[in-house]
Amino acid sequence: MADEKRSAIRVKKSLSIKYQYALNTENRWDISFVKDISEKGVCINTKVEFPVNGNIVLSFKLPTDPFHAIEINGRVIDSRLFGQTDTYVTRIEFTNLSIEQRTAIQQFVNWAISTEKPKKS
């Protein structure tokens, strides 16, 4: 698409994810689901609106490595109310990924693409 802003392939796979505002001193996590994910970032539904450029901490497991949780820092790109619900669609760019984290996400994205069912015409 000509108006596509993303520079990485994203996949729509439902993954459970924990998140918290990076400045949260109580270490309380909320739980949500991933809407889509790429090696550069993730889109999730959140219970609150996060400030743009705010820091967020994410923790999730990938089906390609279900025994190890990945904890990643991110920067909020956008957080807006979804329709007339009390849910916010929050887009997050990963920050300071280690080589291992980036590789794990790339492997998951490649796996997800390879297991997609072809669309019927």
pLDDT in tens, 7-58: 678 888 889 999 998 776 677 899 999 999 999 999 999 999 999 999 999 9
Residue 46: name the closest of 64, 54, 108 by CA: 54
Strand segments (E) across 6-87 = 16-21, 30-37, 41-46, 55-62, 65-81
Show the domains of the chain with their CATH numbers. Answer: 16-113 (2.40.10.220)
pTM for the model:
0.84
**What would the two tokens of residue 91 be?**
């887009």
